[in-house]
Amino acid sequence: MVPLNCELLDLRAIIAVADGKSFLRAAEQLNLSQPALSRRVQKLEATVGTALLERTTRSVRLTPAGQEIVPLLRRLIEEIDSSLLGMMALGERQAGRLTVASIPSATVRFLPDVLEQFGREYRNVRVRVLDLSATECAEAVRTGEAEFAISLPVTSDGDLSFEPLTDDPYGLVCRRDDPLAELPDPSWADLTGLRLVTVHMGSGNRTALDAGLTRAGIELRWFYEVTRLTSALALVQAGLGPSVLPRLACMGPDARDLLWRPLRGAGIVRTIGVLRRSSATLSPTASRLMALLAAAWVDR
C-alpha cells in the first residue's frame, strides 16, 4: 500500500518517467523543472525504501521493484482520475480538460461536428486537439500527452493498441486543367513516368502507399518530396505535377480547387482508427468522445 504521505504528483512523476523513458519528456509533460521532477522521484523512492528507476547516460528504465510498483500506481491514478472526471452535478458535467491527437485529414473531416455534439453533453470540458503526423500521434499517446489518437496503425508496439475505423483509399490528385483530369477512368498505368509529388518516406502515409505499391508490383516516379500532405497539395496546385494521396486528405479547404479520382487496378488504402495505450483505461469523457468519433465514421 502506498503511504499516505505521498502526493499524487509524486506518483504521476514516476509514471511519466517510466512511460516516456526520459526525465526531460516527463518534466515537460508535467510542467515541472527536471530538478523538481527528480526530487519527487527521489522522495517516492525514499518512501518505499528502494530504487524504482535505473538511470544511465542514455536511458531510464524501471528496476525490478519499479516494474512491480508502477503498474499498481498507474491503476491507482487511473481510478482517481476516472472518479474525479465521473463526478457530475445535475445537468452539468464536471469541468476539466481532455487532450486527443489526430492526423490532420481526420481533424478536418470529422472532428468539428463531433466536438460540437460532445460540447453539448460536456459543456465545461475543454478539448485540446493536437494536429500531428501519425508518428507524432503515436508518441503523444505513448507518453500520455494525449488520451487517444485518430491515426494510422503503428508497427510492433506492445504499449499501444489500434482499433480500425475505416479504410481510406489512395487515388490520383491533380489540377482541373491537367490532362489526367480528362481521362474517364484513370489507372495506375496512366501515372507511369510522370513527375509525381509525394510525402517523405518516414511518414505513415508514404509507408502505407509504398507497401501497397510493392504488393501490386507498381513502380512510380516520385520527383518532388515534401513533409506534409498539405504541402503536397500546394505543389499540385502550383502545377508541379499530380500526386497520389488518400481521399480524406483531399476533402479539406486545401484541396478545394483540385480533383481526386480513384485509380483503376490495385486498391491501395490506408487504415484509420483509434490509437490508445494498451494498459490505460480511458476517462469517461475520453470514452464518450471516442464513441462519438467511431459513430461518425460509421455513419459517413
Please provide the size of the chain in residues: 300
Q: Is it true that 8-86 and 89-164+272-299 share their CATH fold? A: no
Instruction: Output the nine-digit C-alpha cell for 143.
Output: 507518453
- Nearest to residue 68, comparing CAs of 80, 82, 41, 50? 50
Q: Write down the CATH number for the domain with range 166-271.
A: 3.40.190.10
Q: How many secondary structure helices (H) and strands (E) does the chain include?
A: 10, 13
pLDDT in tens, the chain (300 residues): 444 467 788 888 888 888 888 888 888 888 888 888 888 888 888 888 888 888 876 778 888 888 888 888 888 887 777 666 555 443 344 567 888 998 887 776 777 888 888 888 888 888 888 988 888 888 899 888 999 999 888 776 678 888 888 888 999 999 999 999 999 899 999 998 899 999 888 777 888 888 888 998 888 889 999 988 888 889 999 999 999 998 888 877 777 789 999 999 888 898 888 898 888 888 888 888 888 887 877 655
pTM listed for this prediction: 0.61
Q: Write down the CATH number for the domain with range 89-164+272-299.
A: 3.40.190.10
Give residue limits of the domains in the chain.
Answer: 8-86, 89-164+272-299, 166-271
- Given the candidates 3.90.1720.10, 1.10.10.10, 1.20.140.10, 2.60.40.10, the CATH classification of the domain at 8-86 is 1.10.10.10
CA distance 226 to 112: 27
C-beta separation of 132 from 140 below 8 A: yes
Buried b (16+ CB within 10 A) or exposed e, 77-106: ebeebbeebeeeeeeebeebebbbbbbbbb
CA distance 33 to 40: 11
C-beta separation of 286 from 98 below 8 A: yes
